[in-house]
Copies of this chain bind each other. A is one copy, B any other.
Amino acid sequence: MRVHVQLLIGIRDFMVSFIKDDKISLSEGSGGEEMQNLITTFRDTFGGSGNWNNSDNDSATILIGDKYIFFTSDSFVVDPIFFNGRDIGHLAMCGTINDIAVMGAKPLGISVSFVIEEGFSKSDLDKIIKSIADVSKATNIPVVTGDTKVMECGKIDKIIINTSAVGISDTVLDESICDGDVIIVSGSIGDHGASLMAVRLDFDTNLKTDSKPIVDEVLKIKHLIKVAKDPTRGGIAAILNEMAEKDSVQLYIDESKIPVKREVLSLCDVLGISPYEMACEGRFVCVAKKDDAREVVNLLREFDVNADVIGSVRVGKGVVLKTKFGERILSNPRGRIIPRIC
């Protein structure tokens, strides 16, 4: 009898694992390892990218004549759609603008495509399109094309927005990093993710999203840095691991130097989530030669006083965090992390 039961349990576990493997999970959209695996499947199926360069970068680039064209696309499914003074429209603009910015260019134009639930409030839609217009005007990046679809009530959760952008520049910010280089962050990390979690859980905090365009900041220091990346889904944990892997180096990060607001830390403690896996939407991490690091930090502090050197590049592998208790590996995030953060 016992053998029968064990056999049945074994079969059930096998079936469950099989069924689970055949279904998309939330973690596959959360910016961590599972999402990277899914994207790898996509890339393998789609085949090569022609003359475009898109290896692990926020934007794809192609050289046409003596100019590089930049191209990027993101869909935004953030929940809730309004949060501490910002909204999905603001986020959709900043997210895509920033993906071009970290490659060292400013978008020439942006597209905004809406998929809206039937019955969605037009006054809410008005607020969202005004946010989009505000970012467009503030950055002088015009909305030049788009699309509007409406799905039946109950078939989509309120509204999702896709923004795509095209940029052009003489150069691409995509130099290899190496032993001795210095790692700099442009401001405090995790504000966006933490503030959104606070709204979802109805916590009473002063946290605000950091969602903002970072074009001016990046372009100001572009000549002094080798590479920049914005830590959205998966936070700095994800992008530091990406950077380390891309150039086969080790990133050695001093935890005491990472700017994290006290309220972000408290909220992360309560939720048991690492602040390094919390999304930012208006920050970037960049790498400079050691001699340029001070100037980079000084220039960045004109935008945000929290900009600072957080570590250095070394020979080795992965991301190592120097904590007050010793050193530990900062892994690429795995699992659900926080869904629908952007």
Chain A residues proximal to chain B, CB less than 8 Å: 21-30, 35, 38-39, 41-42, 45-50, 52, 54, 59-60, 62, 64-65, 67, 69, 71-77, 108-109, 111-123, 125-126, 129-130, 132-133, 136-137, 140, 142-152, 155-157, 160, 162, 164, 166, 168, 339-340
Contact = CB atoms under 8 A, between A and B. Distances in A.
B145 A46 contact: no
A340 B156 CA distance: 12
- Assembly of this chain: how many copies? 2
B340 A168 contact: no
Given A73-B164, A118-B26, A151 B50 contact: no
A46 B115 contact: no
Nearest to A117: B24
Contact of A151 (B69, B77, B146): B77
Contacts of A155: 156-157
A113 B45 contact: no
B24 A118 contact: yes
B149 A75 contact: yes
Given A30-B150, A39-B148, A47-B142, A119 B24 contact: yes
Contacts of A114: 75
Contact of A136 (B21, B26, B47, B164): B47
Contact of A150 (B25, B140, B162): B25
Q: Which of A30, A64, A73, A113 has the most CB of B within 10 A?
A: A73
Q: Which of A64, A122, A140, A144 has the most CB of B within 10 A?
A: A144
Contacts of A112: 42, 46, 73
Nearest to A41: B129
Nearest to A43: B143
Contacts of A126: 45
Given A46-B133, A77-B151, A71 B109 contact: yes
A186 to B, nearest CB: 23
A174 to B, nearest CB: 14
Nearest to A22: B122
B168 A49 contact: no
A35 B129 contact: no
Contact of A22 (B123, B140, B157): B123
B71 A21 contact: no
B143 A23 contact: no
The 10 closest A-B pairs by CB, nearest first: A29-B150, A73-B111, A164-B164, A162-B162, A60-B144, A50-B142, A155-B157, A52-B144, A60-B145, A46-B143
Contacts of A142: 46-50, 52
Contact of A42 (B25, B71, B120, B129): B129
A70 to B, nearest CB: 9
A30 B147 CA distance: 11
Given A60-B144, A156-B156, A136 B46 contact: yes
